Amino acid sequence: MIISGKELSTKLKAEMAEEVAGFPAKYGRVPHLVVVLVGDDPASHSYVRGKAKASEVVGIKNTTILKPDTITEEELLALISGLNADDTVDGILVQLPLPGHINESRIINAISKEKDVDGFHPLNVAALWMKQPCIVSCTPKGIIRMLEAAGVEIKGKRAVVIGRSQIVGLPVAKLLLDRNATVTICHSKTVDLPSITRQAEILVVAIGRPRFVTGDMVSEGTVVIDVGVNRDPETGKLCGDVDFDAVEPKASVITPVPGGVGPMTICCLMENTIECFLRRSS
Ligand code: GUN
Sheet containing 202-205: order of strands: 182-186, 158-162, 202-205, 223-226, 253-254
On average, the pLDDT of the chain sits at 98
Is 230 contained in some domain?
yes
Pocket of ligand 1, candidates 167, 266, 268, 272: which has the most ligand atoms within 8 Å of its Cβ, to mutate?
167
On whether residue 122 sits in a domain, the answer given is no
Tens digit of pLDDT for each residue in 97-155? 999 999 999 999 999 999 999 999 999 999 999 999 999 999 999 999 999 999 999 99
Nearest ligand 1 atom to alpha carbon 97: 1
| 206-225 pLDDT, tens digit each | 999 999 999 999 999 999 99
Q: How many CA atoms are closer than 13 Å to the CA of 234, on its beta-carbon side?
A: 2
Say how many domains are in the chain: 2
CATH number of the domain enclosing 242: 3.40.50.720
Has residue 189 been placed in a domain?
A: yes
The residues lining ligand 1, judged by C-beta closer than 6 Å to any ligand atom, are 93-96, 118, 138-139, 167
Domain co-membership, 184 together with 87: no
Residue 229 neighbours by CB under 8 Å, 6+ apart? 238, 240, 257, 258, 262
For 69-124, give the DSSP string.
TT--HHHHHHHHHHHHH-TT--EEEE-SPPPTTS-HHHHHHHS-GGGBTT--SHHH
pLDDT of residue 238 exceeding 90, the answer is yes
Q: Whose CA is nearest to atom 2 of ligand 1?
A: 96
Same domain membership, residue 145 and residue 71? no
The residue out of 115, 149, 172 marking a domain boundary is: 115
**Does some domain include residue 156?**
yes
Probe ligand 1: pick from 96, 111, 227, max atoms within 8 Å of CB? 96
Do residue 164 and residue 106 come from a single domain? Answer: no
Same domain, 152 and 254: yes
Instruction: Report the separation in Å between the CA atom of 117 and the middle of ligand 1, taken as the mean of its atom positions.
Output: 11
In a domain, 82, yes or no: yes
| 214 within some domain | yes
pLDDT digits (tens, 9 = 90+) for 160-181: 999 999 999 999 999 999 999 9
Same domain, 61 and 150: no
**Has residue 81 been placed in a domain?**
yes
Residue 267 lies in a domain: no
Within this chain, do residues 90 and 178 fall inside the same structural domain, yes or no? no
Does residue 101 sit in the same domain as residue 162? Answer: no
The beta-strand segments (E) located in the chain are: 32-38, 61-67, 91-94, 158-162, 182-186, 202-205, 223-226, 230-231, 238-239, 253-254
- pTM score: 0.97
* Long-range CB contact pairs, 53-56, < 8 A, 24+: 54/9, 54/13, 54/266, 54/267, 54/269, 54/270, 55/270, 55/273
CATH of the domain at 44: 3.40.50.10860
For the segment 86-91, the average pLDDT, to the nearest whole number, is 98
Instruction: Please give the distance, rounded to the nearest whole angstrom, from the Cα atom of residue 48 to the centre of ligand 1.
Output: 9
Whether residue 146 sits in one domain with residue 221? yes
- Is the same domain home to 143 and 214? yes
- CA 14 to chain CA centroid, nearest Å: 19
Active site members: 51, 95, 118
Range of the domain at 94: 28-115
Q: Which 8-state DSSP code applies to residue 29?
A: S
